[in-house]
């Protein structure tokens, strides 16, 4: 047995010595990093989300609800590139349909070439002749590989065609955008491996009946996933929103109870948004709890805190909460604005329009500190707010009480804040 074991070890050593190892392990300091060049689209919002532009040879997947504007955004990008050729492949629309949409958009689109095709073999053949700098596929669920006999949109076809597109992008260095359909729950249709295969996954969010759209990344191998882009849908296409705070705060002639301005961070951008709530006596049995743009479980928690710590009888009240602008907020710093909005509607006490709130609310009714408070304060001052309420624990960072005409008021608990609002000081 020992002789047999020794023979196997010798054979293994001989085999490994004969292997030509092309890649050798390196220490982290020995690795040379070369910053990849990027294709700047000119769309500041999209470039920001991608991390500075499109990386050559990258494969990007963009998904969203039907009619949200995915194809419009990609067609705008294709038409905006003046010195680069773009191959726009459509398996859902004819050339004349794309022409009708393109006529409503700015730009001539001389370098944007449209191909109505679903076969990957034909797409690669046309790409070899055109030699584009960017390929846009609309959509991955319509493509079909001649290597499989299944119908387009099946799990096998989606996986195979995505793999062929990835191989082509890596070999040629041509970046490829894949537009993807979504399921009922909002996830991208097809196998989960589709999201693992691509370099970047972008979600286009928003209500199709609302004006604003949000572009955010859930995966990015060439940048962080904290950036987002904001667009406004118009008759001529999607318009970039450079200062979203001014648009997310609707103009009002007078203060209204239940309407409060809060501060959130979307990616690295501080935004001021309007929180609207309506609290009324439940006249139809079980009280209703409805929220739009805010986590319903978080709303239930805040209602329990207000009832337990403040004595407000929300258990017999209908509560309706809405985040203006049609966006969804996940930043816990909006908790304080939501709590004040509920309190304002409950007491029918209007809050001045030049006051904003930022802070996380704990189960004990305490107001907790939030991150990047300086950016939130500067945004409030830039937009002309006069007073900002925040957690007193944020003052440990050395924030002064007066910033560019903005009065900073620090509070530690909801009861303390409500007392100040009732007194009107």
Per the DSSP assignment, residues forming a β-bridge with 214 are: 205, 230
- Give me the percent of the chain exceeding a pLDDT of 70: 91
Tell me, yes or no, whether 271 lies in a domain. Answer: yes
The predicted structure's pLDDT at residue 5: 46
Measured in degrees and rounded to the nearest 5, phi and psi for residue 61 equal -110, 125
Tell me, yes or no, whether 15 lies in a domain. Answer: no
Q: 84 and 131: one domain?
A: yes
**Poorest-pLDDT segment among 327-331, 367-371, 377-381, 396-400:** 396-400
Per the DSSP assignment, residues forming a β-bridge with 215 are: 204, 229
Tell me, yes or no, whether 236 lies in a domain. Answer: yes
pTM for this structure? Answer: 0.76
Residue 400 reports pLDDT greater than 60: no
Q: 235 and 166: one domain?
A: yes
Tell me, yes or no, whether 253 lies in a domain. Answer: yes
Spatial distance between the Cα atoms of 126 and 109, rounded to a whole number of angstroms? 18
Range of the domain at 391: 246-423
Tell me, yes or no, whether 156 lies in a domain. Answer: yes
Spatial distance between the Cα atoms of 206 and 409, rounded to a whole number of angstroms? 34
Q: 186 and 265: one domain?
A: no
Please give the distance of CA 178 from its chain centroid, rounded to a whole number: 17
The tokens for 3 are: 């002789």
The predicted structure's pLDDT at residue 16: 36
Q: 323 and 223: one domain?
A: no
Write down the residue that tokens 């329990």 correspond to: 304
Q: 190 and 272: one domain?
A: no
Measured in degrees and rounded to the nearest 5, phi and psi for residue 391 equal -70, 140
Residue 74 reports pLDDT greater than 90: yes
Tell me, yes or no, whether 13 lies in a domain. Answer: no
Is residue 33 classed exposed, middle or buried when 0-12, 13-18 and 19+ CB atoms within 10 A define those classes? exposed
Spatial distance between the Cα atoms of 357 and 261, rounded to a whole number of angstroms? 7
**Poorest-pLDDT segment among 15-29, 199-213, 245-259:** 15-29
Q: 313 and 365: one domain?
A: yes
Q: 96 and 234: one domain?
A: yes
Spatial distance between the Cα atoms of 413 and 393, rounded to a whole number of angstroms? 11
Q: Which of 324, 343, 93, 266 is nearest to 74 (CA)?
A: 93
CATH number, position 270: 3.30.230.10
Spatial distance between the Cα atoms of 191 and 154, rounded to a whole number of angstroms? 9
Q: Is 268 or 203 the better-scoring residue by pLDDT?
A: 203
The predicted structure's pLDDT at residue 17: 42
CATH number, position 209: 3.40.50.300
Spatial distance between the Cα atoms of 145 and 118, rounded to a whole number of angstroms? 8
Q: How far is CA 114 from CA 180, 286, 312, in A?
A: 18, 56, 61
Q: Which residues are annotated as a binding site for ATP?
A: 64-71
Where a domain ends, among 242, 264, 286? 242
Cβ contacts of residue 182 below 8 Å, gap of 6+?
63, 64, 65, 188, 189
Confidence of residue 2 (pLDDT cuts 50, 70, 90): very low
Q: Could you tell me the sign of the dihedral formed by the alpha carbons of 246, 247, 252, 258, in that order?
A: negative
Q: 186 and 273: one domain?
A: no
- For the chain, the domain total comes to 2
Q: Which residues are annotated as a binding site?
A: 64-71
Write down the residue that tokens 């970046």 correspond to: 175
Measured in degrees and rounded to the nearest 5, phi and psi for residue 315 equal -65, -20
Residue 126 reports pLDDT greater than 90: yes
Q: In what order do the strands lie in the sheet with 406-411?
A: 289-292, 317-323, 269-281, 259-266, 355-357, 387-391, 406-411, 402-403
Q: 268 and 237: one domain?
A: no
What does the pLDDT average to over 212-226? 86
Residue 18 reports pLDDT greater than 70: no
The predicted structure's pLDDT at residue 324: 85
Spatial distance between the Cα atoms of 262 and 410, rounded to a whole number of angstroms? 15
Tell me, yes or no, whether 17 lies in a domain. Answer: no
Where a domain ends, among 212, 242, 272? 242
Q: Please provide the DSSP assignment of 313-367 as one string.
A: -GGGEEEEEEETTS-----GGGHHHHHHHHHHHHHT-PPPTTEEE--EEPTTSBE
Residue 211 reports pLDDT greater than 50: yes
Helix (H) or strand (E) holding 89: strand 86-90
Helix (H) or strand (E) holding 74: helix 70-80
Q: 304 and 199: one domain?
A: no
Q: 178 and 297: one domain?
A: no
Spatial distance between the Cα atoms of 222 and 229, rounded to a whole number of angstroms? 17
Using DSSP, state whether 310 is helix, strand or coil: helix
Where a domain ends, among 186, 212, 242? 242
Chain mean pLDDT for the chain:
87
Residue 348 reports pLDDT greater than 70: yes
Tell me, yes or no, whether 38 lies in a domain. Answer: no
Q: How far is CA 182 from CA 52, 154, 161, 205, 363, in A?
A: 26, 14, 17, 11, 36
The tokens for 404 are: 């560019």
**Poorest-pLDDT segment among 103-112, 133-142, 394-403:** 394-403
What does the pLDDT average to over 177-198? 86
Q: 229 and 296: one domain?
A: no
Widest CA span in the chain:
94
Alpha helices in 110-249 (DSSP H): 120-130, 155-172, 193-197, 244-248
């Amino acid at each position: 047995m020992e002789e047999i074991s020794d023979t196997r070890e010798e054979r293994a050593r001989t085999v490994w010595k004969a292997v030509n190892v092309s890649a050798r392990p390196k220490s982290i300091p020995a690795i040379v990093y070369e910053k990849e060049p990027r294709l700047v689209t000119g769309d500041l919002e999209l470039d920001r989300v991608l991390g500075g532009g499109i990386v050559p040879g990258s494969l990007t997947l963009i998904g969203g609800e039907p009619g949200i504007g995915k194809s419009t955004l990609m067609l705008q990008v294709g038409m905006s590139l003046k010195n680069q050729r773009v191959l726009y492949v459509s398996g859902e629309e004819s050339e004349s349909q794309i022409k009708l949409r393109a006529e409503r958009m700015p730009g001539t689109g001389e370098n944007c070439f449209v191909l109505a095709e679903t076969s990957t073999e034909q797409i690669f053949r046309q790409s070899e002749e055109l030699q584009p700098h960017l390929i846009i596929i609309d959509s991955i669920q319509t493509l079909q590989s001649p290597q499989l006999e299944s119908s387009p949109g099946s799990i096998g076809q989606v996986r195979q065609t995505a793999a062929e597109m990835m191989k082509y992008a890596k070999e040629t260095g041509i970046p490829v955008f894949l537009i993807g359909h979504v399921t009922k729950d909002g996830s991208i249709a097809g196998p989960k491996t589709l999201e693992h295969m691509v370099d970047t996954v972008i979600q286009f969010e928003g209500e199709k009946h609302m004006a604003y759209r949000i572009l955010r990344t859930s995966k990015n191998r060439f940048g962080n996933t904290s950036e987002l882009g904001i667009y406004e849908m118009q008759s001529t296409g999607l318009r970039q929103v450079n200062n979203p705070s001014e648009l997310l705060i609707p103009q009002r002639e007078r203060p209204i109870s239940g309407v409060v301005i809060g501060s959130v961070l979307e990616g690295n951008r501080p935004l001021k948004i309007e929180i609207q709530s309506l609290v009324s006596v439940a006249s139809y049995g079980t009280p209703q709890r409805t929220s739009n743009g805010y986590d319903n479980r978080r709303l239930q928690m805040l209602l329990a805190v207000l009832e337990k710590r403040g004595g407000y009888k929300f258990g017999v009240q209908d509560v309706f909460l809405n985040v203006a602008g049609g966006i969804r907020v996940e930043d816990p710093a909006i908790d304080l604005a939501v709590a004040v909005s509920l309190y304002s509607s409950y007491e029918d006490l209007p809050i001045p329009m030049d006051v904003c709130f930022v802070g996380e609310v704990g189960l004990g009714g305490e107001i907790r500190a939030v991150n990047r408070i300086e950016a939130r304060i500067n945004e409030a001052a830039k937009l002309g707010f006069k007073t900002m309420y925040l957690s007193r624990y944020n003052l440990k960072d050395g924030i002064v009480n007066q910033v560019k005409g903005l009065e900073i008021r620090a509070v530690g608990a909801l009861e303390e804040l409500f007392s100040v609002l009732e007194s009107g000081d």
